[in-house]
Amino acid sequence: MAADTSHTAIPSPADDLVTVSRVRDILDEWYPPSLAESWDAPGLVCGDPDDTVSHIVCALEATDDVVDAAIAAHADMLVVHHPLLMRGVSSVAADTAKGRIIHQLIRHRIALMSAHTNADAAVGGVNDVLARLLGVVVERPLEPVTQAVDLWGVQVPLDSSEALRNALFDAGAGRFDGYDQCSFETVGRGQFRPLDGSHPTIGTAHEVETVEEARIHVVAPTWARSAVRSALVAAHPYEVPAYDVTTIDSGARPGPTTPGIGRVGHLDEPMTLRSFTRRVSERLPRTVWGVRAAGDPDQPVNTVALCSGAGDSLLDAAAASNADVYLTSDLRHHPADEHLRAGGPALVDTAHWASESPWCADVARRLHEELGLPCRDLGIRTDPWTLGAAVAQ
């Protein structure tokens, strides 16, 4: 079972109450919704964003048992991995399976929020938790997210260029592939003529003015666009700054801090497939599904590709990664068999719940450290499989 990560509450000042909206903002920062797959539906399912939160509980999904436990714990918010309403529904009546849960949550003023494939892809998310638990040192994502960035260009008088450049850096611009404070600058002559109603910093109405200016180029994450623009306008000496923004592919090489589905890395110590399978069985929560492997039990394993949850759609990516083994969940017979026949890496198959549930304790810990509130993993097994039998080898 997942460990209990409850903590003693740290009092918060009355004027610094934690709200549902604040928790949502923190989770969206850690696990950006933009990283979610197009078919996914993470986010706030129910709850008033202005409601106060004093106790948060976490689970892999919102089942009846989980909601009952959240109510018993007097929680104000339930954070889960699997969305409750991922596909369209025509009714949330209380006599339907999902409607019953929604009504219980609303009746007891418990907000429900999920972070699904966005938490899978985010750095520090579900796959990184799984890799850390299994002793895999992450080198890159298995399937990187295309990293679009904004390229900003802004003209500014030479004597104000340094102050503007530093303001852009402080707002999150100028970071690229392991470097920060990156910029490119060219010097030229700017020209303008102030018209009636303008209030020029330099120049006189109806007279053409020329100024020696620098054009500063910086890159910035697309999600930081608002902050960068605000910093640019605040630091620029002109009444109306001249700037442009273009969104481009960053071209950065994938690394440990690149978001994406799955992970590829090396083991903290090389071992055989047999030993790695045993390690997985010992370190993941136990399930009746257990852990099974396909490949030569004595083959050496150093490089591991992994994907929490159902990952047979990434078998080709695992083969292209040159990993010795690919670990995921819910592998089907034919895709697995064809993968092995094509010379792909050995396979380790785990229960879906087992590969994802360790994230629950991790997000509870992070929320507690960030907010100073009681936050804990409920530790409820939501794996649907309840009985298993195996033939002794």
Determine the Cα angle at 305 with ends 38 and 354, to 5°.
Answer: 75
Query: Does 209 appear as a known binding residue?
Result: no
Query: Does 7 appear as a known binding residue?
Result: no
* Pairing mode of beta strands 260-272, 77-80: unpaired
Query: Does 207 appear as a known binding residue?
Result: no
SS (H, E, C) the chain: CCCCCCCCCCCCCHHHCCEHHHHHHHHHHHCCHHHCCCCCCCEEEECCCCCECCCEEEECCCCHHHHHHHHHCCCCEEEECCCCCCCCCCCCCCCCHHHHHHHHHHHCCCEEEECCHHHHHCCCCHHHHHHHHCCEEEEEEEEECCCEEEEEEEEEEHHHHHHHHHHHHHCCCCCECCECCCCEEEEEEEEECCCCCCCCCCCCCCCCEEEEEEEEEEEEEHHHHHHHHHHHHHHCCCCCCCEEEEEEECCCCCCCCCCEEEEEEEEEEEEEHHHHHHHHHHHCCCCCCCEEEECCCCCEEEEEEEEEEECHHHHHHHHHCCCCEEEEECCCHHHHHHHHHCCCCEEEEECHHHHHCHHHHHHHHHHHHHHCCCEEECCCCCCCCCCCCCCCC
Query: Does 81 appear as a known binding residue?
Result: yes
**Whole-angstrom distance, CA of residue 210 vs CA of residue 200:** 13
| Strand partners of residue 347 | 294, 326
For helices 225-235 and 161-170, angle between their N-to-C axes, nearest 10 degrees: 150
Phi and psi at residue 348, to the nearest 5°: -125, 125
Query: Does 356 appear as a known binding residue?
Result: yes
Annotated binding-site members = 81-82, 120, 352, 356
Annotated binding-site members for a divalent metal cation = 81-82, 120, 352, 356
